Chain A
């Protein structure tokens, strides 16, 4: 066994979930590899400390008051003022919504066709040094529509502009909550995550701050 194969088994060694054969292989490696043996000790000691952790409980009755709080917020959101929708309008709501959605989709499709001129994020992108970045275009709508163009744009952004943190989170939420598995957008999400993993906190904060200033309309 190589170090790379062993290190992921150290956690399972520490919590005793390795089978006998795997355990013997790992222990054989540990006997011959000082680094992995030190890692094994560190993992075991870490779990020992974690097991002593005492978590601060929420206030008494928190869980009996949570649902009423949620309900109150929902009521406020749903009824900001008293207004009764007429029955005839309720009956028309579904077809009207479908029609409106269709019009929006057609509009989006046209709006997000390749165009160097149109870019809600252009102002952000332009602030990022580098000529390549200034030409990049991406919007959550493009990601959600999963169009080939959106996909290509995302890929370029993800390669060069590691700032789509906020957008990606909202996109991921949308994708998940709407249960819309979009292979292209999935690729985009993973690609951004890989890029973001390599950034330090300060850079992410600065990028997010810049995004927050400019993405209120997104």
Chain B
């Protein structure tokens, strides 16, 4: 979908065509899901945030002027709402007596040995990413998983390309140090 196609959909939506919003949602739902999910590993929590992203977009699209692409705009909403959720989660965790997470409760009883190892490694990677400072986490997810060019990330995170490269390097290094320490 080109920038013009996107703008056409936005204009149609602004003129009252609800179907245009559906088209945009269907176009981007998967990408937005994965950005959110990589920041919030639990599917159900991520699902709530993804819905919030599109609901927020629905209300804000009415005043969207097209100065950035819809894609960049949606990513930024997704990243910000995910970070808000992560902060809320941290507060709940800090003040909750029950600190066990779903992941810690996950049962591996029925899995074969290799599958268990894979799941454990995947859990460690999630944990390593989860421990990154917010900015490094944003940059890492957009760069590594979304394979976004630095110039595009700069529009979302609003940092210079040089700063982003620094963030990305430190993120990868921290993940590596954590995995080295935690992996058998």
Contacts and interface: CB of A to CB of B under 8 A. Distances in A.
Interface string A201-217: 11011101100100000
B14 interface: no
A53 B87 contact: no
Contacts of A70: 25, 51, 54-55, 58
Interface in A188-209: 189-190, 193, 196-197, 201-202, 204-206, 208-209
Interface size class of B (residues with CB under 8 A): 35 or more
Contact of B84 (A53, A67, A169, A205): A169
Nearest to A176: B76
Contacts, number: 128
A166 B168 CA distance: 24
Given A8-B169, A176-B73, A169 B94 contact: no
B83 interface: yes
A75 B133 CA distance: 37
Does more than half of chain A's interface fall in helix, strand or loop, or is it mixed? Answer: helix
Contacts of A59: 43
B37 A179 contact: no
A47 interface: yes
Contacts of A71: 22
A177 B77 contact: yes
Interface residues of A, number: 52
B122 interface: yes
Given A56-B122, A70-B25, A169-B80, A179 B68 contact: yes
A42 B183 CA distance: 14
Contacts of B125: 49-50, 53
B22 A42 contact: no
Contacts of B95: 209
A110 interface: no
24 contacts: A8-B162, A46-B172, A47-B172, A49-B179, A49-B183, A50-B144, A54-B122, A55-B122, A58-B33, A58-B37, A59-B43, A66-B25, A66-B50, A66-B51, A165-B87, A166-B84, A172-B80, A173-B56, A176-B73, A177-B63, A177-B73, A179-B67, A189-B158, A204-B87
Interface of B: 22, 25-26, 29-30, 33, 37, 43, 47, 50-51, 54-56, 58, 60, 63-65, 67-68, 73, 76-77, 80-81, 83-84, 87, 90-91, 94-95, 118, 121-122, 125, 133-135, 144, 158, 162, 165-166, 168-169, 172-173, 175-177, 179-180, 183
Given A50-B144, A55-B122, A176-B77, 5 more contacts: A45-B180, A66-B33, A66-B50, A177-B60, A209-B91
